[in-house]
Structures are given as structure tokens and as C-alpha cells.
């Protein structure tokens, strides 16, 4: 199957774009903060979006696209199989970050390099904002953290309190846009 990666727009992303998307992750281990740093702990659960949640996410994304949010989509067989989605404003103490709000690849397409292609295709769009770094409040699952690290993400230099309050178990990461 040929996979096309392009900028998300209201023409290629609709209220039904996530109808066939499979946002499912079976988690067995997560990273947790301890007194001695980060530790991998066993905490099995399944993170799975039902059709109603997919529709709600699609509706929010459409509204945010109209407000200047941006990202890239991977399309295969006429369907959205992965995407990145960034905020429209610079954030942080020095206003030098853009937030990566969402980054997903549909379960059947993981492990094929689509995530890397999506992320790399999004970098020119992010650089157009003038940002120097991407902020990511990332799922603490072992696999999620490994994927972000493989892309070159590292612990965030700046702490974002609002993100921590919204997702207390997430790990705050960043990607330096000034390298490479």
C-alpha cells in the first residue's frame, strides 16, 4: 500500500476521518517518578478509543484546524492511518516551544516507520512558526517513551505545570529544532 504524507487541512481531514482509526495500545509497563528518579513499573491496562471518542476527537481537531492548529497526516488506501497535530501558539517562558498535542498511528500500521515519517514531515511546518523546540506531554507507557526517544526527544528543559496538572503521569519531553 502506498502511503502519502501531507499537511492536514479541512479538505483532507473531515468529521469522519477517524471512523476507521484504531487508537489502541496494550500497556504492560509505565515509567513513574520515584525519589530516586524514573522507574519502570508493571501496570497493565488497555488504552482504547471507542467510535464516539474518535468522532469527538475529529470534531475538536476540525475546530482547531480552523483556529490555526496544524499537522501532518499519513493516508493509505484512502484512509487516515496516522497524524501529528500541533498547537497554533508559541509557549514557554521564552515563547520558543510549539506543543505537539497529538501523535498517533493506527494500531495495524505501527512498526512500519510511519510515525517517523509523519514526525519528520511535520518538522518544516513547526519551524515555520519560529519555534526552537517542540514540547511533548507524552504517555508514560514503555513503548511510547521508546518511540519518542528513537525520534530524538529528550526530557524537557522547561516544566509545563498546566500539562502536568492535565496529565499527571505523562512525561514531559522536547525535541530540539535547532539541531540538524
Q: What is the pLDDT of residues 82-97, one digit of tens each?
A: 999 999 999 999 999 9
Q: What is the pLDDT of residues 90-138, one digit of tens each?
A: 999 999 999 999 999 999 999 999 999 999 999 999 999 999 999 999 9
**Strand 97-105 relative to strand 133-138: parallel, antiparallel, unpaired?**
parallel
Amino acid at each position: 500500500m502506498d502511503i502519502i504524507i501531507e499537511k492536514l487541512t479541512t479538505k483532507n481531514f473531515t468529521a469522519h476521518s477517524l471512523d476507521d482509526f484504531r487508537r489502541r495500545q496494550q500497556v504492560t509497563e509505565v515509567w513513574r517518578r520515584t525519589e530516586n528518579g524514573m522507574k519502570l513499573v508493571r501496570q497493565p491496562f488497555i488504552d482504547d478509543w471507542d467510535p464516539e471518542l474518535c468522532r469527538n476527537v475529529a470534531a475538536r481537531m476540525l475546530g482547531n484546524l480552523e483556529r490555526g492548529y496544524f499537522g501532518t497526516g499519513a493516508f493509505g488506501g484512502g484512509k487516515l492511518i496516522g497524524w501529528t497535530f500541533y498547537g497554533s501558539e508559541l509557549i514557554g517562558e521564552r515563547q520558543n516551544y510549539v506543543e505537539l498535542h497529538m501523535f498517533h498511528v493506527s494500531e495495524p500500521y505501527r512498526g512500519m516507520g510511519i510515525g517517523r515519517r509523519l514526525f519528520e514531515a511535520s518538522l518544516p511546518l513547526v519551524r515555520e512558526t519560529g519555534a526552537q523546540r517542540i514540547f511533548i506531554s507524552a504517555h508514560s507507557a514503555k513503548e511510547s517513551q521508546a518511540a519518542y526517544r528513537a525520534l530524538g526527544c529528550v526530557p524537557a528543559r522547561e516544566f509545563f505545570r498546566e500539562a502536568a496538572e492535565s496529565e499527571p503521569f505523562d512525561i514531559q519531553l522536547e525535541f530540539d529544532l535547532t539541531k540538524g
